[in-house]
């Protein structure tokens, strides 16, 4: 019997489509879903026979995990890869949901992989590695929220075969057990998902796709964000001094730091956009070999908070304000001073006050530098 095809664009209620798909998955059948890159075929991981059937149809290279574990959000990845590297966590937070799949070491006894049926584990793990993805199409995530247990996917692209980017492509390649195809037209990108593998403290591009290797390098960068009030004195000095310290650790010039995988920025809780650093801050930072000549102030935004890996504030009040607005950032926000003392505010004071402030900032950064530099990409 050919699979049922449901045109999502013509469905009166998308919830009915979700219920049909969830029922099919719960019964051990295969369902073809649209994603932002292509169409994928999914089964429920708790159905070992279904996972084994899908594994047999996999087109990925033999040395890779046959199937992909689909996650509802980036937050779930640590349940499956508790020892995920800092680079992997950065890419997960910035890329997911989205057109990127990651191959991770399956090297942790507490991974939920070990709770799956043996056949499902064999379909997901190859050579001690696991591939995971958070598809960006809402139909996939809506179904996963209603289904008990994880979902595994077969990518439709493979050796010598282009991805299925329409429901018609899926039907032409229909595998045994495919019960339902959800048609949402041509996939948005109509390109393969970008696949990377975490290797040590870095990564390698396994298969190119929507996201280029150059973009992935930027997404894997460590972003350190300094925050004060107006972004004209304290946080710009911290940014400039830290960039100089990072360049010394990396053995590069100041303008090469970003290209070496460390992005440094600053912002203010009450900043106007585009203002220069105060002249005294420029001079005080310059005496410590920090360059603020091109600084332009910017307000702290949700996007900056989301992208930053480390957010260092000048005062406790700054930290509390950020956490009240962005509680999900709690694990990434700290005061610059490891001893949790406020950095003095030099605004309106003489140059000597700025010099004391810059020296205080430099001392706090020196105390944190060993820890921060361990997060530099390898």
Over residues 189-203, the pLDDT tens digits come to 999 999 999 998 889
At residue 162, the pLDDT reads 86
Task: Answer yes or no: is pLDDT of 76 > 80.
Answer: yes
Residues 6+ apart with CB under 8 A from 14: 8, 139, 142
Burial of 219 (0-12, 13-18, 19+ CB in 10 A): buried
On whether both 168 and 26 belong to a single domain, the answer is: yes
On whether both 192 and 168 belong to a single domain, the answer is: yes
Report CA-CA distances (Å) from 87 to 105, 162, 274.
13, 29, 31
At residue 159, the pLDDT reads 63
Distance from C-alpha of 313 to C-alpha of 341, rounded to nearest angstrom? 11
Among 59-68, 290-299, 325-334, the least confident range: 59-68
Reported as a pLDDT band with limits 50, 70 and 90, residue 58 is: confident
On whether both 268 and 172 belong to a single domain, the answer is: no
- In this structure, are residues 375 and 310 in contact, taking their beta carbons and an 8 Å threshold? yes
Task: List pLDDT tens digits, range 296-311.
Answer: 999 999 999 999 999 9
Task: Answer yes or no: is pLDDT of 63 > 90.
Answer: no
In a domain, 378, yes or no: no
Q: How many C-alpha atoms does 301 have within 13 Å on its Cβ side?
A: 9
Task: Answer yes or no: is pLDDT of 136 > 90.
Answer: yes
- In this structure, are residues 269 and 300 in contact, taking their beta carbons and an 8 Å threshold? yes
**Portion of the chain with pLDDT greater than 90, in percent:** 87
On whether both 214 and 243 belong to a single domain, the answer is: no
Collapsed DSSP state (helix, strand, coil) of residue 289: coil
Residues 6+ apart with CB under 8 A from 319: 313, 333, 334, 335
In a domain, 344, yes or no: yes
On whether both 241 and 207 belong to a single domain, the answer is: no
Peptide bond preceding 349 in cis form (omega within 30 of 0)? no
On whether both 190 and 333 belong to a single domain, the answer is: no
Long-range CB pairs of 365-368 (<8 Å, 24+ gap) are 365/238, 365/241, 365/242, 365/245, 365/336, 366/245, 367/338, 368/312, 368/336, 368/338
Mean pLDDT, the chain, whole residue set: 94
Q: Rounded to the nearest 10 degrees, what angle do helices 279-287 and 234-250 cross at?
A: 30
On whether both 9 and 34 belong to a single domain, the answer is: yes
Select which of 207, 345, 355, 356 is catalytic: 345
The CATH code of the domain that includes 260 is 3.40.50.2300
Whether 345 is catalytic is yes
At residue 231, the pLDDT reads 98
Residue closest to 18 by CA, chosen among 134, 139, 136, 184: 139
Domain boundary among 175, 202, 218: 218
**Domains contained in the chain, number:** 2
Whether 121 is catalytic is no
The CATH code of the domain that includes 84 is 3.90.870.10
**Dihedral angle of Cα 64, 68, 69, 72, to the nearest 10 degrees:** 140
Task: List pLDDT tens digits, range 310-366.
Answer: 999 999 999 999 999 999 999 999 999 999 999 999 999 999 999 999 999 999 999
Does the pTM surpass 0.75? The reply is: yes
Q: Rounded to the nearest 10 degrees, what angle do helices 234-250 and 351-373 cross at?
A: 40
Domain boundary among 218, 233, 254: 218
On whether both 291 and 143 belong to a single domain, the answer is: no
Reported as a pLDDT band with limits 50, 70 and 90, residue 369 is: very high
Range of the domain at 279: 221-373
Select which of 20, 55, 234, 319 is catalytic: 234
At residue 158, the pLDDT reads 62
On whether both 143 and 271 belong to a single domain, the answer is: no
Reported as a pLDDT band with limits 50, 70 and 90, residue 378 is: low
Among 159-163, 227-231, 244-248, 271-275, the least confident range: 159-163
Number of neighbours of residue 322 by Cβ within 10 angstroms: 21
Sign of CA dihedral 134, 140, 142, 147: negative
On whether both 246 and 334 belong to a single domain, the answer is: yes
- Residues making up the chain, counted from first to last: 378
Task: Answer yes or no: is pLDDT of 50 > 90.
Answer: yes
Select which of 46, 131, 183, 228 is catalytic: 228
Buried b (16+ CB within 10 A) or exposed e, 282-315: bebbeebebbbeebebbebeeebbebbbbbbbbb
Average the pLDDT over 45-60 and give the result. Answer: 90
On whether both 102 and 165 belong to a single domain, the answer is: yes
Task: Answer yes or no: is pLDDT of 376 > 80.
Answer: yes
On whether both 321 and 197 belong to a single domain, the answer is: no
Domain boundary among 218, 250, 279: 218
Whether 233 is catalytic is no
Distance from C-alpha of 221 to C-alpha of 126, rounded to nearest angstrom? 28
Average the pLDDT over 58-64 and give the result. Answer: 83
Residue with tokens 């010394």: 248
Average the pLDDT over 32-45 and give the result. Answer: 96
Burial of 123 (0-12, 13-18, 19+ CB in 10 A): buried
At residue 266, the pLDDT reads 98
How far is CA 273 from its chain centroid? 27
Distance from C-alpha of 288 to C-alpha of 282, rounded to nearest angstrom? 10
Which string of DSSP letters, residue by residue, matches 326-355?
-GGGGGGEEESSTT--PPP--TTS-HHHHH
């Amino acid at each position: 019997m050919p699979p049922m095809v449901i045109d999502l664009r013509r469905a009166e209620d998308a919830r009915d489509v979700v219920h049909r798909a969830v029922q099919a998955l719960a019964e051990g059948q295969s369902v073809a879903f649209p994603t932002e890159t292509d169409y994928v075929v999914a089964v429920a991981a708790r159905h070992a026979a279904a996972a084994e059937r899908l594994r047999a149809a996999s087109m990925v290279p033999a040395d890779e995990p046959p199937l992909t574990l689909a996650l509802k959000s980036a937050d779930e990845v640590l349940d499956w890869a508790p020892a995920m590297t800092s680079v992997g966590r950065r890419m997960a937070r910035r890329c997911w949901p989205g057109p990127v799949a990651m191959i991770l070491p399956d090297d942790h006894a507490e991974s939920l992989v070990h709770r799956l049926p043996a056949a499902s584990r064999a379909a997901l793990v190859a050579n001690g590695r696991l591939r995971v993805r958070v598809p960006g199409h809402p139909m996939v995530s809506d179904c996963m929220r209603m289904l008990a247990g994880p979902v595994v996917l077969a990518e439709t692209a493979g050796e010598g075969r282009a991805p299925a980017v329409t429901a018609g492509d899926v039907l032409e390649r229909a595998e045994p057990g495919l019960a339902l195809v959800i048609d949402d037209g041509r996939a948005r990108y109509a390109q393969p998902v970008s696949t990377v593998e975490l290797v040590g403290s870095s990564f390698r591009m396994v298969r190119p796709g929507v996201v280029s290797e150059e973009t992935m390098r930027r997404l894997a960068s460590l972003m350190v964000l300094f925050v004060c009030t107006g972004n004209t004195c304290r946080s710009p000095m911290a940014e400039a001094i830290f960039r100089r310290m990072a360049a010394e650790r990396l053995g590069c010039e100041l303008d090469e730091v970003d290209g070496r995988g460390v992005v440094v920025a600053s912002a203010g809780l009450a900043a106007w956009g585009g203002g220069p650093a105060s002249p005294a801050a420029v001079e005080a930072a310059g005496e410590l070999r920090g360059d603020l000549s091109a600084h332009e102030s910017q307000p702290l935004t949700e996007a900056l908070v989301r992208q930053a890996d480390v957010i260092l504030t000048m005062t406790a009040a700054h930290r509390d304000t950020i956490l009240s607005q962005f509680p999900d950032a709690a694990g990434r926000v700290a005061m610059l001073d490891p001893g949790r003392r406020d950095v003095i505010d030099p605004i309106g004071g003489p140059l000597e006050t700025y010099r004391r402030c810059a020296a205080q900032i430099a001392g706090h950064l020196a105390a944190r530098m060993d820890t921060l530099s361990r997060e530099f990409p390898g």
